[in-house]
Amino acid sequence: MKNHVIEIINGVTEVRFIDVAGLTDLRSAMDDIAKNYYSELRLWDMSSGVNLTESDVKQVASHAKSTFLLPGKSAIVAPSDLTFGISRMGDVYREDGVLMQGVFRTKNEALVWLNE
């Protein structure tokens, strides 16, 4: 069973996790987006939290680099301190000059940034 829900709202592909997201959940959501919901603007709602080791974060970043090859913007909503910190670490590993990525505490902040 999928741990994520994906919707396209006002041109933004929004991914929301139902429960704490792990490595398999994130890979599954990326593959789902690439196959069925691809857009230049993506919002990852990590409000349910994450359960990732540093190795997992590197694997997520590597999978994202090989899955999302076109330029775009990706915003991560991470209200908790732990999820915010892990997301910022992932931001560093994900950096490739193709995708602009930001980590935000609220969905509103993320949407404003995505639509700039």
Q: Which domain holds residue 36?
A: 4-114
Strands 41-45 and 72-77: parallel
pTM beyond 0.85: yes
Kindly state the average pLDDT of the residues 13-34. Answer: 96
pLDDT digit string, tens, across residues 41-71: 999 999 999 999 999 999 999 999 999 888 8
CATH code (residue 46): 3.30.750.24
Q: What pLDDT shows up at residue 89?
A: 93
Domain count, the chain: 1
Other C-beta atoms closer than 10 Å to the C-beta of 7 total 11
Residue 24's Cβ-count burial label (10 Å; 0-12, 13-18, 19+) is exposed
Q: What pLDDT shows up at residue 69?
A: 85
